[in-house]
Chains A and B, each alone.
Chain A
Amino acid sequence: QKEVEQNSGPLSVPEGAIASLNCTYSDRGSQSFFWYRQYSGKSPELIMSIYSNGDKEDGRFTAQLNKASQYVSLLIRDSQPSDSATYLCATGGGRRALTFGSGTRLQVQP
């Protein structure tokens, strides 16, 4: 069983809408969670990190963590075509390597 699960998509949303990306994980001991954005042909870029249950907001991005249900989500408000990319959920950190999901491809339609 894969440790971090994501729907591969593509998730298609119209410009200006809210994009909702979800991720579940199997390791109940996980403490740190990250969302990365990866454009085609580029390396991943860190968008958000979250460590506590609840919501964390940064600009148009909101990360949500529910450790009891073992899921993490990322909301992107006012989606723009430039947000079109693959979004990677990851857990781990510190000296441990990150465990990545396979990523969700987001397409924002102009």
Chain B
Amino acid sequence: GAVVSQHPSWVICKSGTSVKIECRSLDFQATTMFWYRQFPKQSLMLMATSNEGSKATYEQGVEKDKFLINHASLTLSTLTVTSAHPEDSSFYICSARGTDYNEQFFGPGTRLTVL
């Protein structure tokens, strides 16, 4: 159990376009989801925490108007990168925690390349 999926697994887009990444908990209800970003050979960086039905809490330095997070249901959270630029190219990973778990389970990640 405790499977988290992400879609798409990779995406290439032009500068200035918006990209939506979906994170789904497949076999449990995710009360809390987390979004991370990871640059090559660097540590995971937490971007935001979202609880179902509430506004996301963003970490310091993360632009909430650029990285829109929606956690509309107990199985789905989305991250939209608006007006993407090459510096937004990174590996975006979500994790989820359910009501029966203390652990957090990660999705497989989405590799975003902005040209």
List residues of A whose CB falls within 8 A of some B CB.
Answer: 32, 34, 36, 41-46, 49, 51, 88, 93-95, 97-98, 100-103
A95-B104 CB under 8 A given contacts A43-B109, A100-B43, A102-B43: no
**Contacting pair B44 A49 (CB below 8 A):** no
List residues of B whose CB falls within 8 A of some A CB.
Answer: 31-32, 34, 43-44, 46, 49, 51, 91, 93, 95, 97, 102-109
Query: Smallest CB–CB gap between B89 and chain A, Å?
Result: 14
Known: A46-B105, A94-B97. 17 other contacts (CB 8 A): A34-B103, A42-B108, A43-B106, A43-B109, A45-B106, A46-B104, A88-B44, A93-B102, A93-B103, A95-B31, A95-B97, A97-B46, A98-B34, A98-B46, A98-B95, A100-B43, A100-B44
**Contacting pair A42 B109 (CB below 8 A):** yes
Chain B residue with minimal CB distance to A96? Answer: B49
